[in-house]
Each structure stands twice: as C-alpha cells, then as structure tokens.
C-alpha cells in the first residue's frame, strides 16, 4: 500500500469478539506476512531460465519453472500444482449460513464487502453505522469496530500478501483502513477530492492489483465518477468520468491490472456506462439505458468483461451484460423472479473450471454460469446489501445484511464451502493445505490442524493451541 501516513488515527484495539460461536477474544494475531512462495500467489511466474539440456523448464505450461531450472514448481508434470495455486481443499457442497456480527443500531441494511484469503480465511466489513470488520483468520474469529465515524458502503480488498485494506467514507472524505504488522491504521486517502456522501450510501470501490497497487473509484461532490490509483505516498486522481448524476460505481481489474468501471448515470432517462483504459485516459461506452439501481462488474479468467445491473423501473429484471470483441454488448435477463432486487453482485472463478461466473442478489438468489447455462440455486436465510467472493473454482462466499425490524441489523455469511483434503500439496508449500506461517502445519481453514496459521510459535503440534 502506498498511502500517505500523515494525519491517521489509530484504530481502537478494544474490539469485541463475538463472531459466531467462537470463544475467546484475540485479535487478528501477529504480522500475518506470508513466507516466500506460499499463499500470496503473487510471485511473477519464472520463465526462460536455463535448465538441463533437453528438459523444458516449464513442462506443464503453468507458468512456473521446475526446480531444476531454479523455479518453484513442485510438480512440473501437473499444471494445477504450482506456488500460485489454491490449496485450501475447499470444494462446493451444501449451502450453510452463519451469523458474523450484529449490534448495528437500527434498520440500516448496509452494503457488505467480503473477501476470501488464499488460506481460506474470510474478511467481512460493513459501515452503515461505523466501520466494522470481522475475520476468521488468525487465532480465533475476531470482530472489531474499526472506526465509529465510518459510513457508507465500504470496499474491502486484500494485498498480495493477504492483508486486508478497506476503503470507506468519513463524512465527505474517503478513508483507508489498513492492516499491517498486526495492527490497523486509519488514514485519510490523500490526493482525492471530496466525495458525495448522499448518493448510494456513499459508495467507494477498492481493488488491489498483483503488484500491491490500489485502485479506487467513487462519486465526487459534483456527482461525477472519479478513478484514482495509489502511487508512492498518495492517490493520484484522474479527471472526471461521466458528466454528473453518477451513481453506483463498480470496479474490476483485469489480469494486467487495468481498471474496468461500470456506473449508472441518472440524468435524462438514465444509462449504464462502461469505461476502461485507452491511450492516456478512459474510453466510455453505453451498456444499457434506463435508470440504474445497482451495478457490478467482473472480469473472467479469459479477460471477458461482464456487467450485472438492476434497473430501477418497475418490474425491471436483473440483466447480465457481456462485452463482445467488437465492443458491442449483449444481454441476458434473469427474468421475472429477479425484479425488485436492490443489491446484486457478480464475481468470476479465479481458476479454470466449468463454472466461470457467479451472481447473487437480494433475498436468497444465487446462480452460476456453467457449461453455457445459468444454474440457479437458493441459499439459506435471506438478506440484502450483497457482496460476493469466490474461493478457487466454485466455492462461493456471500456477505449480506439482515435486520430485525427497527431493533438492529446484523451481518451474515452464506457459503457452499466444504473442506475435503485431497492429499495434494497444490501450492508447493510442503503440506496438503495452506501453511502460511511455514511451521509445517496447515491451517484449520484448509483442513489442517494449525489453529493460528499467522504465528509459527502457535500450532497444535507445539501444543500451544489450547486456549
């Protein structure tokens, strides 16, 4: 992260621990840095090193060289095994749901943001009445109020080493909550102009590329969409996108780290705009017309661009917009049972698989695009303020808020995650599963026994797991 540290506030360490059924109240453990070659998956593939004569350096074509060539591919005959592969042993199974945190005063129904780490740990945030964060990584599940002044729809992203970063609003300013060396820092993002807090609960979207650089979009005080990138000590803000009356900006990065934006424009009859890099700035095109209620965007593993939108006209269904090579858009409607949804999300599988895309919207609706058809499923419970994260190929994590009429709002996690150890060390860290702290024991989340995979001095083998 490259954010100016001046003027930051220290995060309160007095977070309560109440996520689900976990006893104890430890925080997020110590540093949480990955050792080289594990979990982060951000190391650039090695190619072209010279090996033994007649033996190819990357025989399986997974982008990682064999050890004989100085590479880190522990099985150069299997392209699904390499240091950047997922090894959480998580597979898609039955759906289940859990309470994450509550105590949010009033019937706020804020938008959640969820991310899943390469070791299978979850990170969830919400900011309708203060920025709240929960994780099941580290020693125990943890829950913290990070910033009582935080508001709006926060956006949580993970650095290449798995550290959470959250963009959110304090009044009309974008702030960043940053987890490093075992503690949170709260920093005003410098280099930005004031944000519009009125629209969309104050939407801001953050993504972090493979080089650790932050990209964010938000709506400014003039209701224009703004894009900024973290550079050295500050964000560098680019010229306005869209004219005015912008809302619900969404952001995705393609494999090269280039930004792709989608946002609604509320003037006139309303329209949905797509923007991406061309020459020195952004090129824009209209995706669809009409007023927009919510928009999301995802890039699939082949680089295909997918937008999901909900129009705000009566009986407008949720529509999947697909960008063709010639720049035109085609559209797939989810039909009558997708109308009247206020929030939606689309995400792509990060490894080659039969199911490429996943969508979810208000209530309990979920669908995945599998072998050219949308397969619909119903998830347990039901909620709003959706966010979506995909673990590996087809394991789905949904963040949602739900409410007990005028009493309070709570955040839930809904997933089809099931752990089945496959006996294969897919990510070349020496064990089946993910051994983030390199103590020889895989994390509980990945089917192992290490109760704190952020701290090599704590593991079941060392007998230091008992609380």
* Residues contributing to the site for Ca ion (CB under 5 A): 60, 62, 73, 75, 81-82, 87, 89, 422, 424-427, 429, 432, 435, 437, 439, 441, 450, 453
Query: What CA–CA distance (Å, rounded) separates 178 from 185?
Result: 5
C-beta of 41 vs 385, nearer to Ca ion: 41
Cβ neighbours of residue 224 closer than 8 Å, sequence gap 6 or more: 240, 241, 242, 243, 244, 246
- Are 11 and 195 in contact by the 8 Å Cβ rule? The answer is no
Sign of the dihedral through C-alpha 367, 250, 210, 61:
positive
Shorter beta-carbon distance to Ca ion: residue 73 or 300: 73
* Torsion of the alpha carbons at 29, 208, 20 and 131, rounded to the nearest 10: 90
Strand order in the sheet with 318-323: 292-299, 305-311, 318-323, 329-333
349, 351, 457 from 300: Cα distances, Å: 7, 9, 39
- Select 391 or 437, whichever has its Cβ closest to Ca ion: 437
Q: Which of 99, 166, 104 is nearest to 414 (CA)?
A: 99
**126-153: string of b/e by CB count within 10 Å (b at 16+)?**
bbbbbbbbbbbbbbbbbbbbbbeebbbb
CB atoms within 10 A of CB 220: 20
Nearer residue to Ca ion within complex by CB, 243 or 464:
464
Least separation in angstroms between residue 390's CB and Ca ion is 18
- Please, what is the minimum distance in Å from the beta carbon of residue 88 to Ca ion? 8
Pairwise CA distance, residues 279 & 234, whole Å:
23
What gap in Å lies between CA 384 and CA 369, rounded to an integer? 22
Distance CA(83)–CA(308), nearest Å, equals: 32
Closer CB to Ca ion, 3 or 57, in the complex: 57
CB of 432 to Ca ion, least distance (A): 4
**Residue 60 or 254 with smaller CB distance to Ca ion:** 60
Contact 138, 454 (CB under 8 A): yes
What are the b/e assignments for 383-404, b being 16+ CB within 10 Å? bbbbbbbbbbbbbbbbbbbbbe
Residue pair 37/428 in contact (Cβ under 8 Å)? The answer is: yes
| Shortest Cβ 37–Ca ion spacing (Å) | 10
* CB of residue 159 to Ca ion, shortest distance in Å: 20
Residue with the shortest CB distance to Ca ion:
450
Q: In terms of CB distance, is 207 or 439 closer to Ca ion?
A: 439
> Distance between CA atoms of 190 and 237, rounded to whole angstroms?
9
Nearest approach, Cβ of residue 351 and Ca ion (Å): 13
Minimum CB distance to Ca ion, residue 467 (Å): 17
Q: Which is nearer to Ca ion, 207 or 432 (CB)?
A: 432
Q: Whose Cβ is closer to Ca ion: residue 75's or residue 209's?
A: 75
C-beta of 87 vs 223, nearer to Ca ion: 87
We find the least distance from the C-beta atom of residue 82 to Ca ion, in angstroms, to be 4
Closest separation between CB of residue 117 and Ca ion, Å? 14
Count CB atoms within 10 A of the CB of residue 24. 10
Shortest distance, CB of residue 65 to Ca ion, whole angstroms?
Answer: 9
Cβ-based nearer residue to Ca ion, 89 or 276: 89
Structural contact between residues 299 and 291, judged by C-beta atoms closer than 8 angstroms: no
Least distance in angstroms from the C-beta of 422 to Ca ion:
5
The sign of the torsion formed by the CA atoms of 13, 14, 17, 23 equals positive
Half-sphere exposure of 112 (CA within 13 A, CB side): 35
Which residue's CB is nearer to Ca ion, number 135 or number 364? 135
Assigned token pair, 157 = 């992203």
Distance in Å, CB of 452 to Ca ion, minimum: 8
């Amino acid at each position: 992260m490259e954010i100016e540290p001046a003027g930051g506030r220290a995060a309160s360490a007095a977070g309560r621990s109440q996520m689900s059924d976990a006893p104890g109240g430890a925080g997020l453990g110590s540093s949480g840095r990955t050792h080289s070659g594990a979990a982060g998956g951000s190391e650039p593939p090695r190619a072209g090193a010279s090996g033994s004569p007649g033996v190819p350096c990357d025989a399986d074509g997974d982008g990682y060289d064999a050890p004989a060539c100085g590479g880190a591919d522990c099985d150069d005959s299997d392209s699904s095994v390499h240091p950047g592969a997922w090894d959480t042993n998580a597979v898609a199974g039955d759906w289940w749901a859990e309470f994450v945190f509550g105590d949010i005063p009033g019937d706020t129904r804020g938008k959640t943001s969820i991310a899943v780490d390469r070791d299978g740990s979850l990170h969830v945030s919400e900011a309708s009445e203060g920025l709240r964060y929960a994780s099941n990584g580290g020693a125990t599940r943890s829950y913290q109020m990070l910033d009582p002044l935080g508001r709006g729809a926060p956006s949580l992203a993970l650095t290449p080493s798995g550290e959470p970063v959250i963009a959110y609003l304090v009044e009309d300013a974008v702030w960043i909550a940053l987890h490093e060396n075992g503690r949170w820092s709260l920093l005003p993002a410098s280099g930005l102009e004031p944000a519009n807090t009125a629209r969309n609960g104050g939407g801001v979207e953050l993504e972090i590329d493979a080089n650790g650089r932050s990209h964010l979009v938000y709506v400014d005080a003039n209701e224009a969409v703004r894009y900024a990138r973290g550079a050295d000590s500050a964000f560098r803000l680019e010229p306005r996108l869209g004219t005015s009356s912008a809302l619900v900006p969404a952001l995705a990065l393609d494999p090269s780290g280039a930004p792709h934006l989608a946002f609604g424009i509320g003037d006139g009859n309303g329209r949905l705009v797509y923007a991406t890099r061309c020459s020195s700035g952004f090129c824009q095109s209209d995706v669809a017309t009409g007023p927009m209620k919510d928009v999301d965007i995802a890039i699939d593993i082949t680089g295909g661009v997918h937008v999901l939108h909900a129009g705000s006209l009566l009986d407008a269904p949720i529509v999947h917009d697909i960008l063709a090579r010639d720049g035109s858009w085609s559209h797939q409607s989810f039909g009558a049972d997708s109308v009247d949804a206020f929030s939606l999300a689309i995400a792509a599988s990060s490894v080659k698989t039969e199911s490429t895309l996943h969508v979810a919207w208000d209530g309990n609706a979920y669908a995945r695009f599998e072998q050219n058809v949308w397969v619909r499923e119903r998830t347990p419970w039901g909620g709003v303020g959706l966010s979506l994260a995909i673990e590996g190929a087809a394991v789905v994590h949904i963040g949602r808020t739900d409410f007990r009429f005028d009493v309070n709002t709570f955040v839930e996690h809904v997933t089809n995650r099931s752990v089945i150890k496959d006996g294969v060390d897919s990510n070349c860290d020496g064990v089946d599963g993910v051994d983030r702290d390199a103590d020889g024991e895989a994390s509980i989340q990945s089917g192992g026994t290490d109760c704190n995979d952020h701290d090599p001095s704590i593991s079941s083998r060392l007998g230091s797991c008992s609380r």
